[in-house]
Amino acid sequence: MASRRNPSFNNPKPCPHLSSYREKHGLSGYESLQKSLRSSPSGRTVLSRLQSTNPTCSSCPNTSIGRLYFCLICSSISCPSHAASHSLSFPGHDISVDVERAELFCLSCADQVYDPDFDSAVVAAAAKILHPPLRRRRRKPLLMLLPPPVAMSSFRGIRTALRHPWGLRGLNNLGNTCFMNSVLQALLHTPPLRNYFLGDHHKRDVCRQRRRRRGALAVAGGGEGPCLACVVEGVFLDVFSGDRKPYSPARFLYSWWKHSSNLSGYEQQDAHEFFISILDKIHDKELSGFNSKGIVDCHCIAHSVFSGILRSDITCTVCGFTSTTYDPCVDIPVDLETVYNTDKSASPADKTRLSTLAGSLDLFTRPEKLGSDQKLYCQNCRVKQESVKQMSIRRLPLVLCFHVKRFAHSVIRRTSKKLDQYMQFPFSLDMTPYLSSSIIRNRFGNRIFAFEGDESDLSGEISSEFEVFAVVTHSGRLDSGHYVTYLRLRNQWYKCDDAWITEVREEVVRALQGYMIYYVQKVLYHRSGEERVIPGTGCF
């Protein structure tokens, strides 16, 4: 029986008793157990034989429940008190199975031990699945997302560049446009996006030709003009030109409105909506397609950078059948955890319950029992049944955008209010616990087994470690407020408040109420911090 070992596990070294058991008996013991494995009501796999009596310890028949160990060699059952004596009395009878938990237990070591082949046997019996074939992973061309080559012809000389990070520049507020400025600042300093546009990867000539091919599509008002990605490239070049006077993104605003339907316009004053709108407009339909699994997979720059894949599992509570769907996403919604502070007089140090990003992600990926009014169709039962839903992240994007839902809407009162609750967020974030591979493995008791959904997550191309690089905050009330972005460049934080750029201490950022928090893969973050200087020119 071949088992696919998951490289992300530590494959624990077997104790000498397990090794010698394996040498003598191989997998025969495990295989013969498979027919006796059952699912308990709690979903755990247990060892149970269909006998009339309950299993009891052979040495003390009065102990009926609790821990029981089933010897793999002679099938006798021992309780913890008599476990050691069994292996002493019968040399070689070391390896047993914990009946209640289907775990290997070494009676001599008196410790739980692990064998990937045993786990395979358990999973195969429990889930009744065959070993999934390993899929070949397609390597995505990431070359364009690396920092641009050092010599750049469009680069004018900078004098102060060495003192301040490249591309740090204020943005003029054009009249209530801080919702736009805040997101622009974040995008301008999103490493792969910056590298793409500054590296001249968006081909304006190709755009022009394409537009000519399509004919002058006249939107009411006379054509759309250059595509928004072309305009964005213009913004990048201007902001990174070395000029430190605040930049007015007027042409960008004009183009964005040109590309919006007449109904939108000024109404989109929410920074998050603006973010989504921009990604949508930079998105290139011609690069879209489906990958081998039938999931929408787009290679345009917007989606290459921001798009991840979410997995949604709906499990029927009656028969256990699970149906899975995959959907792309460009950001992750974060619900604030409800924190009950009953004791208002307690000092901050006493309040043990703190709202955190990790906690919200746990909430996002927890199994959620859907209400009885939300029954979903089960393919196995062929009727609508009560279901449990669980979300997880199938594939992480290069850049993660967390959108913190800082609003509470009351349907009855038809009012909304802003939630100013603080949410702790880390500077270094490990997304491993929220991956589909982790979530599903946990569902099956963390067995050593390559579950479907494993392959793409852990091959090393896209890691799960992220670093924060931009935080967009909103201060004020729902109907009147102000957006500010904090950028992390060369490990120094900068407050970007429209035209005003100032340095701030790290502590200030940690204490912020984030509205949109941007993380980039650690590898890309560190690489973008390496700015080389061409000797003699003073240019980067």
Task: Give me the amino acid identity at 478.
Answer: L
* Shortest Å, Cβ 414 to other proteins: 7
C-alpha dist (Å) from residue 525 to 146, 197, 421, 522: 11, 17, 29, 5
Tell me the CB-side half-sphere exposure of residue 303, using CA atoms within 13 A: 20
CB of 21 to other proteins, least distance (A): 18
265-269 own/partner pairs: CB under 8 Å, 24+ apart? 268/179, 269/176, 269/179
- For residue 295, the minimal CB distance to other proteins (Å) is 7
Residue 385 contacts by C-beta under 8 Å, 6 or more apart in sequence?
Answer: 316, 317, 318, 319, 375, 376, 378
Residue nearer to other proteins on the CB measure, 147 or 455: 455
Give least dist CB 174 to other proteins, A.
Answer: 4
As to burial, measured by CB atoms within 10 angstroms (0-12 exposed, 13-18 middle, 19+ buried), residue 146 is middle
Q: Which of 246, 240, 276 shows the shortest CA–CA distance to 173?
A: 246
Sign of CA dihedral 85, 90, 91, 96: negative
Shortest Å distance, C-beta 472 to other proteins: 10
| Residue among 152 and 310 whose Cβ is closer to other proteins | 310
Task: Kindly give the pairing relationship between strand 514-521 and strand 465-476.
Answer: antiparallel
Please, which residue, 193 or 484, has the CB nearer to other proteins? 484
Q: How far is the CB of 135 from other proteins (least distance, A)?
A: 18
Nearer to other proteins, 275 or 540 (CB): 275
Supply the minimum distance, in Å, between the C-beta of residue 326 and other proteins.
6
What count of Cα atoms within 13 Å lies in the side-chain half-sphere of residue 54?
A: 10
- Least gap, CB of 273 to other proteins (angstroms): 6
**180: buried, middle or exposed (CB in 10 Å: 19+, 13-18, 0-12)?**
buried
Closest by CA position to 449, among listed 134, 113, 139? 134
Query: Phi-psi bin for 382: left (phi > 0), alpha (psi -120 to 50), beta?
Result: left
How far lies 384's CA from each of 376, 444, 480, 521, 536, in Å? 5, 25, 45, 41, 72
**Which DSSP symbol is given to 263?**
T
Catalytic residues: 178, 482
C-alpha 390/C-alpha 247 separation (Å) is: 45
Decide whether 25 or 482 has the Cβ nearer to other proteins.
482
Nearer to other proteins, 200 or 386 (CB): 386
CA atoms 315, 317, 320, 321: torsion sign: negative
228 vs 298, which CB is nearer to other proteins?
298
Residue 44 to residues 132, 314, 442, Cα–Cα distance (Å): 22, 18, 11
Closest CB 346 distance from other proteins, rounded Å? 14
State the sign of the Cα–Cα–Cα–Cα dihedral 120, 126, 128, 129. Answer: negative
Residue with tokens 């195969």: 124
Distance of alpha carbon 163 from alpha carbon 540, whole angstroms: 12
Q: Write the DSSP string, 116-167.
A: HHHHHHHHHHHH--PPPPPPPPPPP--GGGSPPPS--TTPPP-SSTTTS-TT
* Cα angle 506-512-515, degrees, rounded to a multiple of 5: 130
Pick 150 or 266: Cβ nearer other proteins: 266
Long-range contacts of 436-439 (CB under 8 A, 24+ apart): 436/311, 436/392, 436/393, 436/394, 437/6, 437/8, 438/392, 439/365, 439/390, 439/392
Minimum CB distance to other proteins smaller for 460 or for 536:
460
Q: Which residue's CB is nearer to other proteins, number 76 or number 172?
A: 172
